[in-house]
């Protein structure tokens, strides 16, 4: 063979690889900066959160398409927070993992469904769980909606209506985006926009079989008497007038939020022993159906019966966190063309209380209907409508910049098609990450040092082949990690370093197989020069089989595992493949060159041990006369 050719090919691979390291796309900064691989958060610190997809109330599992769509939306939300190099990946068929190397952030909001609904408040009741009667009609609303340019403090049919302050300490309300040229619209009743008064059967639509089964289970839990009493309620029960009714309805206070979520909306609202403590903790997407009347709470004390959602989050074209004229943070909403028409119709309907749909308990201070801004299961605000809005609007509240930006990002990138719950959230400090990195590098160095010491002790000259092979493998792996980090976003984690350390044992095994086969060939009487290629032929198949098994194990582990185990499997597989490259392009050629040296024939220098003396004894003639002859 011509070993120079294999060595030239290996040299060419090194040149191409490190040209990519220093000059490929994404390479910037000094040479030292370009040599830095992309490190995981367990090595440089950061935040990792695992979100698990949960089934909706109807029990349908998430599809692969919905999971991928959710991943993209979450990635957009995280990037919208101004985070650089965030990694959002799916794991299995249920999990999404968010990793932010280099910084610690609160990521609780990025996994919320962010299903925005605008619903009229039809009725209001006390949500403490022990209500005696509906609240008075004069209760102050927590905010208001006004058209732009509202200088007057008195509402009228054609003048700009006032902005009602929140007397109950609510979070705020809706206001139009300020515009110098905008004028309020004259509220005129519209026959087509009228809405009938709500009734107990207004939301009686077919429900999935799974929900019906859960309702039957709840009916059995509370008992037939309690269920019959709750089903007969047409309005929130007055327990002070009928104390015995409170005893019948008491079992509903023991229901879990999951059990409350499957009850009809009228029952959730009319049963006074069902409080906001249960309603606020219902599973995600419990009130996401826009065609159904729903029940939600505001402030943990007020329980509202809400109309069907006539304006959705999909009707919002854009959302931004901005400062209003009072220097307070608000979320500015730009509606789509069709969405603006829906929003105008909804505000007209609420301002005129068409069809007297809003109960007296739900009206604001000025006798106008209120529109609840519902995000997922929570009411952000429920302002009183002070006029018909024909332009863009704002969500006002007690927002700081962070909260307003997070809400705007959720609305801007749309609602998630899958609901999630946080399974794991981990913050790793930069100090701890640096400690992990030092520990990993120290472990890798100790592992390599032990292998080299053993190699030189047992194989002597042949140990230099092992030493050089490991150095070349390490350089190949390092360069590949830098390039893969830029091209496919691969991050090196502590588990990845562990995979590389394990690969040292795999590489050492291939050395042992080759060198021991070489000794066998020499013992059988062959010269070292002829034994090298024959030993290579016989050991090659075993080396390939051993590495193939390791590589197959790494592939299977990568496919079926999640989290950092994937990094371990990838690093192990990568190091195994590159070890094979070094075996074929360096180890065998360099051994062929060593076989032509005198040192290779010395048992003390070569490391072949007793193989050469045994060969000399075999070739030495037994008959002294024959030796003399």
Query: What is the 3-state secondary structure of 110-128?
Result: HHCCCCEEEEEEEEEEECC
pLDDT at 12 over 90: yes
Contacts of 225 (CB under 8 A, 6+ apart): 248
Give the domain ranges of the chain. 3-37+429-619, 41-113+420-427, 116-419
Q: Mean pLDDT throughout 591-606?
A: 71
pLDDT of 306 reads 93
pLDDT of 484 reads 86
Closest CA to 123 of 436, 357, 300, 292: 357
Q: What CATH number was assigned to the domain covering residues 41-113+420-427?
A: 3.30.70.3400
Residue 397, CB-side half-sphere exposure with 13 Å CA sphere: 25
Q: What percent of the chain has pLDDT over 90?
A: 8
pLDDT at 74 over 70: yes
Q: With cut-offs at 50, 70 and 90, classify the pLDDT of residue 602.
A: low
Q: Where are the alpha helices (DSSP H) in 283-336?
A: none
Higher pLDDT, 564 or 452: 452
Higher pLDDT, 307 or 381: 307
User: How many helices, marked H, and strands, marked E, lie in the chain?
Assistant: 21, 16
Question: Per CATH, the architecture of 3-37+429-619 is what?
Answer: Up-down Bundle (1.20)
pLDDT of 57 reads 47
Higher pLDDT, 42 or 97: 97
> What is the four-CA torsion angle of 110, 112, 114, 115, rounded to 10 degrees?
160
The string of pLDDT tens digits covering residues 207-221 is 566 678 888 899 899
Q: Mean pLDDT throughout 495-521?
A: 82
Euclidean distance between CA atoms 33 and 22, whole angstroms: 9
Q: Where are the alpha helices (DSSP H) in 250-400?
A: 257-261, 265-270, 276-279, 337-352
pLDDT of 119 reads 92
Q: Mean pLDDT throughout 412-418?
A: 68
Do the domains 116-419 and 41-113+420-427 match in fold?
A: no
* Rounded (5°) CA angle 497-499-502: 115
What φ, ψ does residue 89 adopt, rounded to 5°?
-130, 155
Q: Are 134 and 125 in contact (CB under 8 A)?
A: yes
Report the 3 state secondary structure along 19-66: HHHHHCCCCCCCHHHHCCCCECHHHHCEEEEEEEEECCCCCCCCCHHH
Q: What CATH number was assigned to the domain covering residues 116-419?
A: 3.30.1360.200
User: Which DSSP state fits 197?
Assistant: P
pLDDT of 111 reads 65
Higher pLDDT, 65 or 249: 249
Highest mean pLDDT among 202-211, 225-234, 510-519, 620-629: 225-234
The string of pLDDT tens digits covering residues 447-500 is 888 888 888 887 777 788 888 888 888 889 888 988 888 887 777 888 888 888
Least confident of 109-118, 465-474, 506-515, 530-539: 109-118
Q: Are 532 and 518 in contact (CB under 8 A)?
A: yes
pLDDT of 189 reads 35
pLDDT of 208 reads 62
């Amino acid at each position: 063979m011509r070993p120079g050719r294999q060595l030239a090919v290996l040299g060419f691979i090194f040149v191409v690889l490190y040209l990519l390291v220093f000059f490929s796309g994404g390479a910037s900064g000094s040479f030292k900066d370009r040599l830095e691989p992309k490190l995981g958060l367990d090595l440089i610190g950061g935040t990792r959160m695992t979100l698990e997809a949960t089934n909706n109330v109807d029990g349908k599992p998430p599809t692969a398409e919905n999971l991928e769509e959710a991943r993209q939306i979450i990635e957009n939300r995280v990037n919208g927070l101004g985070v650089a190099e965030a990694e959002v990946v799916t794991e299995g068929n249920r999990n999404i993992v968010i990793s932010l190397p280099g910084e610690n952030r609160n990521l609780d909001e990025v996994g919320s469904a962010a299903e925005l609904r605008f619903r009229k408040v039809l009725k209001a009741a006390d949500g403490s769980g022990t209500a005696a009667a509906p609240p008075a009609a004069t209760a102050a609303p927590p905010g208001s909606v006004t058209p732009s340019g509202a200088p007057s403090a008195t509402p009228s049919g054609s003048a700009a209506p006032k902005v009602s302050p929140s007397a109950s300490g609510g979070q705020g309300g809706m206001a139009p985006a300020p515009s110098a040229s905008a004028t309020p619209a004259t509220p005129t009743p519209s026959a087509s926009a009228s809405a009938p008064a709500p009734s107990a059967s207004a939301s009686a639509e077919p429900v999935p079989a799974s929900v019906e089964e859960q309702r039957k289970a709840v009916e059995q839990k509370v008992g037939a008497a309690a269920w019959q009493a709750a089903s007969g309620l047409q309005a929130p029960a007055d327990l002070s007038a009928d104390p015995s009714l409170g005893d019948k309805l008491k079992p509903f206070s023991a229901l879990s939020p999951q059990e409350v979520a499957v009850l009809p909306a009228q029952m959730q609202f009319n049963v006074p022993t069902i409080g906001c403590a249960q309603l606020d903790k219902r599973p995600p997407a419990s009130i996401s159906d826009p065609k159904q009347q729903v029940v939600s709470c505001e402030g943990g004390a007020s329980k509202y019966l809400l109309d069907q959602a006539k304006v959705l989050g999909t009707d919002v074209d854009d959302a931004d966190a901005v400062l209003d004229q009072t220097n307070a943070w608000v979320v500015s909403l730009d509606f789509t063309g069709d969405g603006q028409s829906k929003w105008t119709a909804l505000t007209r309907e609420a301002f005129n209380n068409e069809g007297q749909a809003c109960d007296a308990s739900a009206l604001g201070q000025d006798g106008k209907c209120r529109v609840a801004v519902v995000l997922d299961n929570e009411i952000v605000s429920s302002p009183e409508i002070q006029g018909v809005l024909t332009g863009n609007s704002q969500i006002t509240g007690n927002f700081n910049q962070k909260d307003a930006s997070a809400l705007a990002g959720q609305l801007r990138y749309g609602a998630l098609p899958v609901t999630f719950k946080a399974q794991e959230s981990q913050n790793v400090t930069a100090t701890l990450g640096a400690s992990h990195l030092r520990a990993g590098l120290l472990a890798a160095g100790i592992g390599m040092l032990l292998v080299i010491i053993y190699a030189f002790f047992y194989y002597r000259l042949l140990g230099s082949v092992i030493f050089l092979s490991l150095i070349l493998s390490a350089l190949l792996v390092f360069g590949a990690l830098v390039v893969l980090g830029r091209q496919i976003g691969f991050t090196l984690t502590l588990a990845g370093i562990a995979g590389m350390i394990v690969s040292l044992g795999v590489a050492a095994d291939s050395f042992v197989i080759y060198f021991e086969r070489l000794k066998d060939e020499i013992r059988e009487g062959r010269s070292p020069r002829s034994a090298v290629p024959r030993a290579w032929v016989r050991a090659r198949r075993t080396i390939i089989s051993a590495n193939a098994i390791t590589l197959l194990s790494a592939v299977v582990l990568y496919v079926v595992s999640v989290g950092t185990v994937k990094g371990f499997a990838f690093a192990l597989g990568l190091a195994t493949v590159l070890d094979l490259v070094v075996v074929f392009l360096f180890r065998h050629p360099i051994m062929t060159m060593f076989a032509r040296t005198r040192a290779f024939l010395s048992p003390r220098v070569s490391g072949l041990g007793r193989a050469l003396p045994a060969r000399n004894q075999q070739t030495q003639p037994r008959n002294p006369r024959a030796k003399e002859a």
